[in-house]
Amino acid sequence: MAALGFFFALLIKVKGNLSYVYNFFVETRGALKTAYIESAAEGADAAKPYATGQTDPGKWLLGTTISVNGSEVTEYSRDREIVFTEEYLDHFPSHEGIITYRGSYRRDVTSYGSPVLTESRFGVTWRFKTGRFLKCDGVNYWSGNGWTGQPLAVRWDEATKQHMNLYPEAKEKAGLTEIIYPGMDGKIHFLDMETGEETRPAINVGMCFKGTCSLHPEYPLLICGSGDSAPGLFGEQVSARIFIYNLIDGTKLYEFAADDPFAPRLWHGFDSSPIYSVATDTVICAGENGVLYTVHLNSSYDAESGSLTIDPDEIVRYKYNSKSAEERFESSELSNGSGSESSAVVWEQYLFFGDNGGIFQCLDLNTMQPVWVQDLREDINSSPVLEVTERGEVFIYVATTLKYYYDKHHTGTAVLYKLNAKTGEIVWQKAYEVHTVLGLAGGFLSSGASGEGKVSDYIYYAVSKVPKVDSSYLVAISKQSGEEIWRKELSFDAWSSPALIYAADGSVKLCQCCGNGDILLMDAETGEVLDKVNFGSNIESTPVIFENHLAVGLRSEYIAGVELR
């Protein structure tokens, strides 16, 4: 009877699909040999990006289309040229804190401050109750906070704080660090990072948020994209879209991208964390509908009065048709794979981003034309990380999940790549054999944490569904060679992205949130676990760390906080 009960429990776990049973009894090979191509690094210090024979856009794209304010154009030249200089990116932002996914537009800042950690362990914890929201099917629910779902944390200057609709206690608190957290309950929550208490009323948007929002680097202006459509009162679909909010009073200033007829894909979702070009007053947003948007905001903020306005006057859309969409997807708009869930990176006037079909490209933002294109063959959920070396070379680390090329047992390889950012050539690739089951792809859902100082050659990732269906790896990879420096096998899955803490004593700690509710505190050099705290629920989202405090969302409808000692 016990064996029969186990069999039926397994059938429920695999939702009646017997082809997945094999995966629950067999381990994959795990880490595979690194392939290194030394010559591919040539030109990484070039003045600007260029295509090679391997990365010529014509090799991978069937065509591109540009629209300006709703009208298609044959060519485009931006009046206000966008340039993201190293000086701008190095001194970003003017606010204190983490104001976009992974802290910068290179996606390489995973914590703020240099905390004093005398004990190297966790201290006081708190929880804040959130909720759930109906999925677009009108039956199932999104709950709590999910992937990538990193909260923002900002310490407002006193003048700005006094203009805001904060509760009196929050407004009076010296050094208040505020969490800003759109969630899968359809609301944007605002909390005191130290206590978990509400700092102001939540904004009830009425749309689910799975990804990570972005705060304007200078103004109290928030932009966030909903990750799923909502069911309407009469059974209709209310399309996902992108929202811009005034954080002085919580009012909605603008929304766009809903039911976009320009989109090559019917599915609309906006998990990617937007990018602001402050000098040109332009916001850049990639959509899972297959459209890249740039919007000139005409924003104005009077710091003395607290008046904040926008008046968008130029919306530019870019889309492309890739060969991978034909080769890897069914021939329907719903299955077109050109959309982006991961968050892009920038360098100078160039945007680097990947899509659900495995295409990764370098786009000139001032002409909206691709410079180079690389085919990574699998779904790109992991956000890229851009690195500028001391020699002026520019590289990108980007990884894939297993969605298309799995075998009859639903196993295959997910790959971490180091790309030459100037040419798109693959410098090295590190593959992992993983499982993919029940519509949940294994591999790299997490984004990399790029080390500095004594761990400057390390980049850290969580690898999902390896070697078992319900286990994962946490790995430190050498940026130079692509080989593992250390690996820790976790007996549970992990989608959350690792975060590095640079302590005041010079040590480097690593935080990893896990599918069993654990938050691990580790020695980043060795992988030794120093402490852990368990919140009893799957943690898919990525934590925000501000000095001695960490906050992260749980799928169990809570936001949790923990002190670092």
Instruction: Give the CA distances from residue 370 to residues 144, 232, 315, 534, in Å, rounded to whole numbers and listed in that order.
Output: 37, 38, 19, 45
Listed by start position, the domains of the chain span 17-564
pLDDT number for residue 223: 98
Burial letters for 517-530: b for 16+ Cβ neighbours within 10 Å, e otherwise?
bbbbbbebbebeee
SS (H, E, C) 146-192: CCCCCCEEEECCHHHHHHCCCCHHHHHCCCCCEEEEECCCCEEEEEE
Closest CA to 227 of 541, 561, 550: 541
Q: What is the C-alpha to C-alpha distance for residues 442 and 30, in angstroms, rounded to an integer?
A: 12
Residue 327 makes CB contacts below 8 A (sequence gap 6+) with none
Closest CA to 272 of 206, 321, 345: 345
Residue 31: DSSP 8-state: E
**Class assignment of domain 17-564?**
mainly beta
Contacts 24+ apart (CB under 8 A), 168-171: 169/197, 170/197, 170/199, 170/200
Residue 245 makes CB contacts below 8 A (sequence gap 6+) with 188, 203, 221, 222, 223, 224, 251, 252, 253
Instruction: Give the CA distances from residue 565 to residues 114, 120, 126, 152, in Å, rounded to whole numbers and listed in that order.
Output: 12, 6, 15, 21
Q: What is the C-alpha to C-alpha distance for residues 402 and 415, in angstroms, rounded to an integer?
A: 9
pLDDT number for residue 497: 98
Dihedral angle at the C-alpha atoms of 354, 358, 359, 360, nearest 10 degrees? 40
What pLDDT tens digit does each residue of the chain (565 aa) get? Answer: 666 556 556 666 666 577 788 898 899 999 999 999 999 999 999 999 999 999 999 999 999 999 999 999 999 999 999 999 999 998 877 889 999 999 999 999 999 999 999 999 999 999 999 999 999 988 999 999 999 999 999 999 999 999 999 999 999 999 999 999 999 999 999 999 999 999 999 999 999 999 999 999 999 999 999 999 999 877 788 999 999 999 999 999 999 999 999 999 988 999 999 999 999 999 999 999 999 999 999 999 999 999 999 999 999 999 999 877 667 765 444 456 689 999 999 999 999 999 999 999 999 999 999 999 999 999 999 999 999 999 999 999 999 999 999 999 899 999 999 999 999 999 999 999 999 998 789 999 999 999 999 999 999 999 999 999 999 999 999 999 999 999 999 999 999 999 999 999 999 999 999 999 999 999 999 999 999 999 999 999 999 999 999 999 999 999 999 999 9
SS (H, E, C) 77-98: CCCCCCCECHHHHHCCCCCEEE
SS (H, E, C) 357-372: CCEEEEEECCCCEEEE
Q: Which two tokens stand for residue 192?
A: 């005191």
Residue with tokens 């509760």: 167
Residue 206: DSSP 8-state: -
Dihedral angle at the C-alpha atoms of 421, 426, 431, 434, nearest 10 degrees? 60
pLDDT number for residue 237: 86
Q: What is the pTM of this model?
A: 0.96
- Residues 369 and 362 sit within 8 Å (Cβ to Cβ): no
Closest CA to 486 of 499, 473, 498: 473
Give φ, ψ of 258 to 5 degrees.
Answer: -75, 140
pLDDT number for residue 462: 98
- Give the length of the chain: 565
Residue 353: exposure state from Cβ atoms within 10 A (0-12, 13-18, ≥19): buried
